[in-house]
Chain A
Amino acid sequence: MTAQPSPLPATSARPASGAVVNIRALRHSFGAVDALKAVDVSIEPGEFVALLGPSGCGKTTLLRCIAGLVLPTSGEILVDGLPITRTPVHKRDLGMVFQSYALFPHMTVHDNVQFGLKMQGIRGDFADRRIAEALALVQMAGFERRYPAQLSGGQRQRVALARALVTHPKALLLDEPFGALDAKLRESMQIELRRLQKTLGITTIFVTHDQQEALGMADRVAVMHDGRIEQFDTPARIYNSPATPFVADFIGQTNRIGGTIRSMNGGRMQLQLDGPDQPIDVAATPGLSAGDRVVAMVRPECVYMASDAAASTSVDISLPGKIADVLFVGEKVSVYVQTVAGTIAASLLNPTRRDNGTMVAGTDVMVGWRKDDLMIFRHA
């Protein structure tokens, strides 16, 4: 201990960047089911990445593969360029927060946080300082002697976070960590985690099925579906330029309208939507050719609604329709309008005291949107 340089990183002089995590062609099969089908992801140092998808999409399996709790069938996981695919869980030096928190019920808060250090052989004053530091980080100083059963849900969450961070892991993995919290607490924990993550600069991978959580917290979001990553991009691009119909559908709300490509001409194409009489001229989607069936999607907040045709000049496509349903949700009103192209949902900012009279079922209205707001995909 005396002559050798300490292999431990100095307490406070941590580099402000986390590890690079690369995942290459990762596959995993549960018997006949392919939970992961050739997943590739590259995560930058200090980046906060959310794995988002419906249950069964493989997001948790991917996280558990990174943690080492599941062995992939093939493929590679690299941390800072070093393959860890075959490294046993306990030698990976990662931090993880579990959905159930998974605190050790028979240990105090102090002992829970100490566990990781103890496994690394770190003891004494140095360990105690690190524990105090970690608990202070999550604002749980003073709770050292409590047992998990004596803590509230939010407090357990904080202890779990402190336990995961105390060893200064290369990356932090979180498996739906806020699933068990109520809405208010959830929001404050989201803000706090985000702040903490930015302060520490730790590479963070976060699994969630809650798109608002993913879009709100992450630097980049990987939308997963059926064992694949459909799109890996910034929240804004995920929302505004979904790469696949699944992403468009899964994130936010969409109106789907069938259509056919009439002709292609340079960078433009003629799209005939099912319903309206006239074809429209839109920017060509790469990979499509004349005669293809497509699905055109438009988000409800891009749909304009007016009581007569004259009012809708700013839109490229407008259809007459009849209000079928009105759903008042507070800051917004969702109006469902029956048109030749099917039911079109329009999401309007709550027009208090303005249009209330006309917003009743059975009213004739015009709905429309700009053609640039159409997201066009090949029909699956």
Chain B
Amino acid sequence: MSGLPRSLVVYTVVMALFLIAPVVVVVVAAFTAGDFIMFPPSGFSLRWFDKVLGDPEFITPLWNSVRLGVMATLISSLLAIPAALSLIRGILPGRRWIEAFLLSPLSLPTIILAVGLLFFTARLGIGDSFVSLLAGHVIITVPYMLRTVLGVYAGMNREIEDAARVLGADRWRTAWYVTLPIIRPGVMAGAIFAFLMSFDEVAVALLLTTADTTTLPVSILSYLVYNYDPAVAAISTIQIAIVVVALLILERAFGIRNVMLTSH
């Protein structure tokens, strides 16, 4: 950070502390030996992790969340990659409007989507609310996927695809042998990002999950409303750990700045 004014460096450190404070506090509180959430904690123990990891009330939602996130990410990829390639390659009237529509879930408050999906499920008599939950998560994750792939693909030298076609590859083989391998890092980054978006989502899950499909954030939320013991800090810490691991993979594989610092 050399070259920056000293005051800015100090400010940056203070803001960094502000940003990570609640996360750190939760993690530290999870290791308490006491019966209450306290900061600083009283003593060190792993008893709350023991409790949480043996408690289906937390473990089931954790798996539900992972499963939902993976499924949503897969479906998002299958929908977003061809769409992104088409958007950039194709000649479409009103391209800008189509793109705006496809990215519109980014600016839609999730509560509206959640309420809409709830009515939709009820009114259309979709028996399984998991379909709606999954659809909701796909809608939430797909713009992130789309945006990342669009960014990577737009930055790709288009003559490379032309070269493949002149060399005898039809559209599909060009996509398979040339385009997809080249944009793969971007796709991976988008996928990790999409997974995290689903993994964190609360509003849609809150209205559409049933006892069987409850996700981790929802179970933490409902636990928080009725109990306030360190178990919730422990399960939150597990959630944080999963996120940090995913982010480190993202950083190692692609560089977070490439995903996050894109002017939209």
Binding site for B on A (CB under 8 A): 67-69, 88-96, 98-100, 102-106, 115-116, 119-120, 163-164, 167, 173
Contacts and interface: CB of A to CB of B under 8 A. Distances in A.
A-B pairs, 6 with minimum CB distance = A119-B168, A102-B159, A116-B167, A102-B163, A89-B165, A98-B159
Contact of A102 (B157, B168, B170): B157
B166 A69 contact: yes
B95 to A, nearest CB: 14
A252 B174 CA distance: 42
Interface in B152-182: 157, 159-160, 162-170, 173, 177-178, 181-182
A102 B182 contact: no
Contact of B160 (A89, A104, A173): A104
A163 B170 contact: no
Contacts of A120: 168
B162 A167 contact: no
The listed residue with most A CB atoms (<10 A of its CB), out of B162, B163, B173, is B163
Contacts of B168: 90-91, 93, 116, 119-120, 167
A94 B170 contact: no
Contacts of B162: 67, 69, 89, 96, 98, 102
Given A104-B178, A106-B182, A67 B160 contact: no
A134 B165 CA distance: 20
B170 A115 contact: no
B153 to A, nearest CB: 14
Main secondary structure on chain B at its contact with chain A? helix
A100 B170 contact: no
Contact of B163 (A98, A106, A167): A98
Contacts of A103: 160, 163
A1 to B, nearest CB: 20
Contacts of B165: 68-69, 89-90
A120 B173 CA distance: 12
B162 to A, nearest CB: 5
A99 B160 CA distance: 11
B174 to A, nearest CB: 8
B182 to A, nearest CB: 6
Nearest to B180: A106
Q: Which of B167, B170, B182: most chain A Cβ within 10 A?
A: B167
Nearest to B182: A106
A153 to B, nearest CB: 15
Interface string B129-162: 0000000000000000000000000000101101
Contacts of B178: 104
A149 to B, nearest CB: 13
A94 B163 CA distance: 11
Given A91-B168, A163-B163, 5 more contacts: A98-B159, A102-B157, A104-B164, A119-B168, A120-B168
Contacts of B170: 88, 90
Contacts of A167: 167-168
B175 to A, nearest CB: 12
Contacts of B167: 90, 115-116, 119, 163-164, 167
A47 to B, nearest CB: 20
A14 B260 CA distance: 54
A187 B178 CA distance: 32
Contact of B169 (A68, A90, A102, A163): A90
13 contacts: A90-B167, A91-B168, A94-B166, A96-B162, A98-B159, A103-B160, A104-B160, A104-B163, A104-B182, A105-B182, A116-B168, A164-B166, A164-B167
B157 A100 contact: yes
Contacts of A88: 170
B181 to A, nearest CB: 5
Nearest to A111: B177
Contacts of B159: 98-100, 102
A100 B181 CA distance: 19
A144 B181 CA distance: 20
Contacts of A98: 159, 162-163
A69 B167 CA distance: 12
Contacts of A93: 168
Given A100-B157, A100-B159, A119 B166 contact: no
A119 B163 contact: no
Interface in B179-197: 181-182
A68 B165 CA distance: 9
B173 A119 contact: yes
Contacts of A106: 181-182
Contacts of A116: 167-168
Nearest to A95: B166
Max chain B CB contacts within 10 Å: which of A100, A102, A164, A167? A102
Nearest to A94: B166
A104 B169 CA distance: 13
B182 A92 contact: no
B69 to A, nearest CB: 28
Interface string B211-236: 00000000000000000000000000
A328 B66 CA distance: 75
A95 B166 CA distance: 7
Contacts of B173: 90, 119
